[in-house]
Amino acid sequence: MGTTKSNVSSGFRKLLYVKLGLECLSINVRKETQMTLNNTKEIIFLVEEDPEGGYTATALGESIITQADDMNTLKEMIKDAITCHYDNPENYPTIIRLHIVRDEVFAL
């Protein structure tokens, strides 16, 4: 279980390096973001505040992107996007993890 967590963290770090424009030689968001552990499927969404207001959620390792004005609506939109993305309900993830990123800048 520890190995799986470090792989997911590594994927997050690599994605965040890209988002922040930091140098990263190997950029590879792993398909391991949706993993099976004791028949539990998990999908991870990177959630960011949208500059125009609201939030944007992007699934790591899947082609799922959605947005909403508030966090409660975003969760509903994520559920809807997942049901649209997967053809078979047996493939739906049982756990949806939100990794919320917020940029904050302040002066010294």
pLDDT score, position 105:
87
Rg of the chain over Cα atoms, rounded to whole angstroms, equals 15
Q: What is the pTM of this model?
A: 0.63
Please, is 48 exposed, middle or buried when counting C-beta atoms within 10 Å of its C-beta (0-12, 13-18, 19+)?
Answer: middle
pLDDT in tens, the chain (108 residues): 333 333 344 444 444 444 444 333 333 444 444 444 556 799 999 999 998 999 999 999 999 999 999 999 999 999 999 999 999 999 999 999 999 998 888 999
CB contact at 8 A, 64 and 58: yes
HEC string of 67-90 equals: EECCHHHHHHHHHHHHHHHCCCHH
- Nearest CA-CA partner of 93 in 47, 52, 43: 43
For the chain, the domains span 33-101
pLDDT score, position 5:
36
